[in-house]
Structure 1
Amino acid sequence: MKNPIATRATPEPRARATTSGEIVRMTMPTYCNHRAPRRPAHATASPPPWRRLAPLLLALGLALPAAGDETGPAAPPAERPDITIRDELTVEEQLDRAFAPEDAATATKQAAPRRLTPISLSVISDVVLHEQDARILGSALENVAGVTAHRFGGTTDVFYIRGFESLSSALVLTDGALEPEVSTYHTYNLERVEVVRGPAGFLYGGSALAGAINLVRKRPLGQRGGGVQLLGGSYGTVYGAFDYHLGSAGGAHAFRLNALYTDTDGYRDDLGNTSWALNPSYALRASDRTTLYANAEIEDGDLSSDTGLPLLGGAIPEVPRSRSYQSDLDVNERDVLRLRLDLETVYGPRFVLRNKTYLTELDQHSAGTVINGAFVFGPFEPLVARVLAGLDDRQQFLGHQVDALFDLGDGAVRHQLVAGLEVQRLADDFDLGFFNLPPIGLFNPIETARPPLVPIPGSRTTGDVETTVVAPYVLDTIAIGARVKLALGARYDAIEIDDARTGFRGDFDQASPFAALLYAPDQRFAVFANYGRSFSPPSTTVVADGREPEEGEQIELGVKADLLGGRLAASLALYRIDKEKIAIADNTGFLAQQGDQRSQGLELELSGRAGRSTLHWLFSYAYTDAELIEFRESIFNFETFTFDVFDFSGNRPAWVPDQVADLWLSKRFRNGLTVAGGARYVAERFVDEDNAVELDDYVTFDAAFAYTRGGPWTARLHLKNLTGEDYELRSFSSLAVLPAEGFNLQAGIDLRF
């Protein structure tokens, strides 16, 4: 019988389906992502120290592989490791893998079948992103079990994995490098999104106990081609995306350019957004052994803060959902720079060395109105209480990572070993303050706010934080015989934090272990279990005194299966996560509280194709039982001018529904027509940890149509929230909610060249 485990894992071809259904083969090697440790949550660049470190790290990355090239002749193609092998696939198999990829690399840093990876792992391909018109990360994550996404303050992607908020319990990575928490993640240049649900701290550090999301960007191709997307529709929205790639005749050089422009008036009054981005990338095959990848990305956003509608007496008042109570003083200007340099050298069939040097900077200037509820004063019109939150924030992450991949052993026992070291310097310079705004009428809002504003005494929080991380890590995946796979790993983080502005200093050293066991009785089924621990130093946005590291552990049991001749892939997982000293947002939206939380639940993901047809489908369901084990909150009493302490232990965390289900169907016809649609159900959820206000459950429906005659163009139509369902998302404050978009129509054309 063929060994279901010990056969070498071969990454899938980078096949991509166009809207016409034809397949474009991608020939560059599979990219295995690297880890990025968690940083303290805001960040400012202190340029000189970091800039001086960059040449040293870059030299290290270039010197090691260069030295290796002098040891002998290049490895023959037949001896190159399995990470570069490409199998020939039928058109149907290519389309299946493009719609629901079989392989992923984020969980183990080596491309491997998801069925044989002993942890819950989801992949959203660019085919699905395009078909669903998922332009930002939050839209893409609706396909993943156990994940819900929100637009925090109307400008920032915030999500929940297994009941835990991303700001304190998860990581976002771009090509394996750490991303700012206060950001919007566009998908215009993504090949796929990989989501690890469960402990990822053993490779990526930080507080990645609940999970990690890796945005894998498109890489240069060794061929000339490209395309343009042009769409427009509801709320004065205009969207354009550009993709162009070319390569040299011999295949030694390849270049790609992705670009984005989007502008919208917004579905809420006077709250438009404009963004643009540019992402050139270059690949150089220096020799048969060595490949160099360089990538630069610039993003610019002129955004509008939005804290939604105030709560009146614990309910949403009868006002237009499009009404805005934001002041005229609001502004949100955000610039992001990402630089990546990846170097991969193959020393033979059993050893690969990877180096990554990365720099990420975020510069943000914002002033946003925060709504603190609506109140009735005698016979007069209810008034909306407001303050203005001003934030100047500069973040910079500079790091280098070395990964050594070994393939050891033969016969009954085989090791796939990843050993690495991460060195990282993080900078965070921020100034946060709150200012009084005059109240505004709930039913007849007339703006009277004029500068200068009076700051609220004691509300200012500043930091000039430098964080140094040195972290070795190892993961050994052991195939024992034909049916058993054992994974053992750990990462040791040595972290130093120095806040020059507040005087806070701290050293945090701790290991994050991981152990997993997988049993595959045959080619179709695999049963797995894993255990992991993680810790994270306190975020700089935890403004409470006595900041302590967060700690947590998870145990997970699951089963994965490929059924119906590979036409149905299923994954079922049961888990429990216990986490201590979690930073929890107070009613200003910042992480001022701490508590202990437990989350346990069930997650199911199904993907497949009906028979031999081109009807594809994705389904996910999650049941989440989350509880605040110990949580007390201090709330200011405006009558006594003192703080009252409330015990909310035993309550459910805010914005965590107990059930979420999502379905997407897609059918491609021979005449060039594609018809797709889906439904999403989200159960009731609380607005705050006091569990005083509960929002209703909701169901939304989407549809999409595409048509091509086989030429260079494809017409597209997207209908979102078909029934105009009213539902709410998380606001900046727990005394307000953000109305979600109603019915939205987007139409346009794709041009290929």
Structure 2
Amino acid sequence: MLTLSPISKAIATTLLFSNYALAEQAASEIPHNNTQPIEVIDVVGSYTTKSMDYSTGLDLSIRETPQSISVITRQQIDDKGITEIAQALRHTAGITMNQAETDRVFPSARGFAIDNIQFDGSPIRGANGGVEADFLADMAVYERVEIIRGSAGLLMGAGNPSAAINLIRKKPLTEQAATVNLKVGNWGLSRAELDASSSLGFDDKLSGRVVAAYQDSESYLNSIDRNKTVLYANIQADFTAYTKLNVGVDYQKHHVRGVSFGEPVPMYYTDGTRTDLPRSSNTGTDWSYRDRDRIITFASLTHQFANSWTLTAYGSHMDGHYDDNRAYVNGYLDPQTRTGLSARPSATEGDWTQNTFDIRISGPFELFGRDHQMVVGYNTSLEKNTRNMKPALSGLPDWSFDDWSNIPNPGFSSTPLYVWGWEKPKVVPM
């Protein structure tokens, strides 16, 4: 403990009163009729968000939310040039991105796969079903990404205690605004993106926003060629100052040529030694590809009551399709002949639909002399997923690994070898 002598106390007291007197004198000298305008500082862009109401259902700041939170805001997305969700997750603490082959990613957190996904705070069935491609979805239509690590059972229901990913879509603006972004990069990357928003009349009570993007690129891997198309439209109607209706459509299509399946590259030679192959090595062929497209139509209604309680209802319909031609590759490579790998070609096709409905009411209340918040709601979804696999018409011959991309196309049967699928309902009371 620091102890001051009587002399030190007197000096400190004198300095304190002197500073107070000088401040009072300076204040009295300021003209009372000073009409100079106060400078206003506008903060444009942020690396954080005010509240996490979408993810938790409660108007809580990041500090007030009792879980580990990360937010990838639009400012971060633009500054870092993030164009897909997988890239955003790679910039998130505590998230591990597991790359499978050339175009599949499986994020995990705390030792578990992430299978909880939300759109604008409304849960969908999960990432391992029909929306598995949304980890590679384009970021052009999203305002930010919220990640809650750990169990998110309050709003998500059953699932892995890994993390929940909430994708917040862009909303219409009443003022006119438009941006065009062009991007070029290594390996033939070219990208164009348009984002426009405006009032549509009725005293600014009707507004709309459209987003379009197209990207084409190759890769450091041999034979890879990617392109994707994004179209997004959103209309908001303000019936009153407290009631808003939002209707939109989100369409994305992805095409990847030269995809690999199984082992992208052999790890060992036939003599047991490790391979030392070029970084560009790939067991994808010129005829292998993976196509995915999905369209989501959605609508949400929000009403704010006079007591600061808010009612929100959300519904969406997702319709998706994918198909691919590929060859499952495994085996060991002969260091002399450069052969030895085996490949099982197949063609896969699938369709999925998902209907989601979410309704909740939340707001503050006082109890026992303290302020509280509460959310009560109901969420239900139904997913239907059907898939089929068509066998190849012929086998693949032994082929040199150095010319693997040019392996002949075996052709595929028009009759599926087998069909499988599922229908899964999910209900989450809150």
Q: Which residue of 2 aligns with 1:356?
A: 314
Name which of 293, 309, 320 aligns with 2:246. Answer: 293
1:107-155 Cα distance to aligned partner (Å, 9 max, x none): 4212321111111111011111111111111111122111122443323
Tell me, yes or no, if the aligned pair for 2:172 and 2:209 is still in contact at 8 Å. yes
Q: Identity of aligned pairs, percent?
A: 19
- Counterpart AA for 1:312: Y
Q: Measure how far apart 1:298 and its partner are.
A: 1.1
- Counterpart AA for 2:118: L
C-alpha distance in 1, partners of 2:231/2:291?
17
SS in 2 for 1:202: helix
2:171 is aligned with 1:212:
no
- Counterpart AA for 1:363: H
Q: Which residue of 1 aligns with 2:225?
A: 272
C-alpha distance in 2, partners of 1:189/1:343?
20
SS in 2 for 1:348: coil
Q: Measure how far apart 1:348 and its partner are.
A: 2.0
Tell me, yes or no, if the aligned pair for 1:440 and 1:447 is still in contact at 8 Å. no
Q: Measure how far apart 1:439 and its partner are.
A: 4.0
Counterparts of 1:151-170 in structure 2 under 5 Å?
151-166=99-114, 170=115
Q: Measure how far apart 1:159 and its partner are.
A: 1.1
2:281 is aligned with 1:323:
yes
Q: Measure how far apart 1:419 and its partner are.
A: 0.8
- Counterpart AA for 1:245: S
Name which of 396, 412, 430 aligns with 2:387. Answer: 430
Tell me, yes or no, if the aligned pair for 1:311 and 1:373 is still in contact at 8 Å. no
Name which of 430, 451, 456 aligns with 2:410. Answer: 451
Name which of 47, 61, 67 aligns with 1:113. Answer: 61
C-alpha distance in 2, partners of 1:450/1:298?
31
The unaligned stretches of length 5 or more in structure 2 are: 1-38
SS in 1 for 2:175: coil
2:135 is aligned with 1:187:
no
- Counterpart AA for 1:406: G
1:519-544 Cα distance to aligned partner (Å, 9 max, x none): xxxxxxxxxxxxxxxxxxxxxxxxxx
2:374 is aligned with 1:417:
yes
Name which of 340, 359, 363 aligns with 1:383. Answer: 340
- Counterpart AA for 1:110: L
Q: Measure how far apart 1:213 and its partner are.
A: 0.7
Q: Measure how far apart 1:448 and its partner are.
A: 4.1
Q: TM-score, normalised by structure 1?
A: 0.47
Counterparts of 1:69-218 in structure 2 under 5 Å?
91=41, 94-95=43-44, 98-166=46-114, 170-175=115-120, 176-178=122-124, 180-183=131-134, 184-218=136-170
- Counterpart AA for 2:356: G
Tell me, yes or no, if the aligned pair for 2:285 and 2:404 is still in contact at 8 Å. no
C-alpha distance in 1, partners of 2:374/2:405?
64
Q: Which residue of 2 aligns with 1:689?
A: none
Q: Measure how far apart 1:316 and its partner are.
A: 5.7
More strand per residue: 1 or 2?
A: 1
2:270 is aligned with 1:310:
no
1:474-502 Cα distance to aligned partner (Å, 9 max, x none): xxxxxxxxxxxxxxxxxxxxxxxxxxxxx
Q: Measure how far apart 1:433 and its partner are.
A: 5.9
C-alpha distance in 2, partners of 1:315/1:238?
40
C-alpha distance in 2, partners of 1:349/1:373?
67
- Counterpart AA for 2:64: L
- Counterpart AA for 2:278: P
Aligned residues: 376
Q: Measure how far apart 1:411 and its partner are.
A: 6.3
SS in 2 for 1:312: coil
C-alpha distance in 1, partners of 2:49/2:251?
28
C-alpha distance in 1, partners of 2:333/2:247?
55
Q: Measure how far apart 1:472 and its partner are.
A: 1.3
- Counterpart AA for 1:276: T
Q: Relative to structure 1, is the Cα distance of residues 107 and 446 closer, same or farther in structure 2, using a 3 angstrom cutoff?
A: closer
Q: Measure how far apart 1:394 and its partner are.
A: 0.8
Moved more, 201-210 or 416-425: 201-210
Q: Which residue of 2 aligns with 1:366?
A: 324
C-alpha distance in 2, partners of 1:471/1:445?
49
C-alpha distance in 2, partners of 1:199/1:380?
52
- Counterpart AA for 1:273: R
Q: Relative to structure 1, is the Cα distance of residues 426 and 331 closer, same or farther in structure 2, using a 3 angstrom cutoff?
A: same
Tell me, yes or no, if the aligned pair for 1:138 and 1:150 is still in contact at 8 Å. no
2:196 is aligned with 1:244:
yes
Q: Relative to structure 1, is the Cα distance of residues 267 and 349 closer, same or farther in structure 2, using a 3 angstrom cutoff?
A: same
Q: Measure how far apart 1:185 and its partner are.
A: 1.5
Counterparts of 1:193-592 in structure 2 under 5 Å?
193-247=145-199, 248=201, 250-304=203-257, 305-307=259-261, 308-313=264-269, 317-376=275-334, 380-409=337-366, 412-432=369-389, 437-445=396-404, 447-452=406-411, 462-473=419-430
Moved more, 156-165 or 416-425: 156-165
C-alpha distance in 2, partners of 1:406/1:246?
31
Q: Relative to structure 1, is the Cα distance of residues 159 and 429 closer, same or farther in structure 2, using a 3 angstrom cutoff?
A: same
Q: Relative to structure 1, is the Cα distance of residues 188 and 107 closer, same or farther in structure 2, using a 3 angstrom cutoff?
A: closer
Q: Measure how far apart 1:444 and its partner are.
A: 5.0
Q: Relative to structure 1, is the Cα distance of residues 395 and 328 closer, same or farther in structure 2, using a 3 angstrom cutoff?
A: same
1:590-630 Cα distance to aligned partner (Å, 9 max, x none): xxxxxxxxxxxxxxxxxxxxxxxxxxxxxxxxxxxxxxxxx
C-alpha distance in 2, partners of 1:137/1:156?
12
Q: Measure how far apart 1:351 and its partner are.
A: 2.5
C-alpha distance in 2, partners of 1:445/1:427?
37
Q: Relative to structure 1, is the Cα distance of residues 225 and 107 closer, same or farther in structure 2, using a 3 angstrom cutoff?
A: closer
SS in 1 for 2:87: helix
C-alpha distance in 2, partners of 1:198/1:279?
31
C-alpha distance in 1, partners of 2:286/2:133?
22
C-alpha distance in 1, partners of 2:40/2:72?
21
SS in 1 for 2:383: strand
> Root-mean-square deviation (CA), in Å?
2.7
Q: Which residue of 2 aligns with 1:33?
A: none
Q: Measure how far apart 1:360 and its partner are.
A: 1.3
Give the number of the structure whose alpha-carbon radius of gyration is greater: 2
Q: Relative to structure 1, is the Cα distance of residues 200 and 433 closer, same or farther in structure 2, using a 3 angstrom cutoff?
A: farther
More helix per residue: 1 or 2?
A: 2
Q: Relative to structure 1, is the Cα distance of residues 154 and 274 closer, same or farther in structure 2, using a 3 angstrom cutoff?
A: same
The unaligned stretches of length 5 or more in structure 1 are: 1-88, 474-753
Q: Relative to structure 1, is the Cα distance of residues 333 and 104 closer, same or farther in structure 2, using a 3 angstrom cutoff?
A: same
C-alpha distance in 2, partners of 1:198/1:205?
13
- Counterpart AA for 1:302: H
C-alpha distance in 1, partners of 2:406/2:190?
29
- Counterpart AA for 1:220: P
SS in 1 for 2:63: helix
C-alpha distance in 1, partners of 2:398/2:245?
57
Moved more, 209-218 or 302-311: 302-311
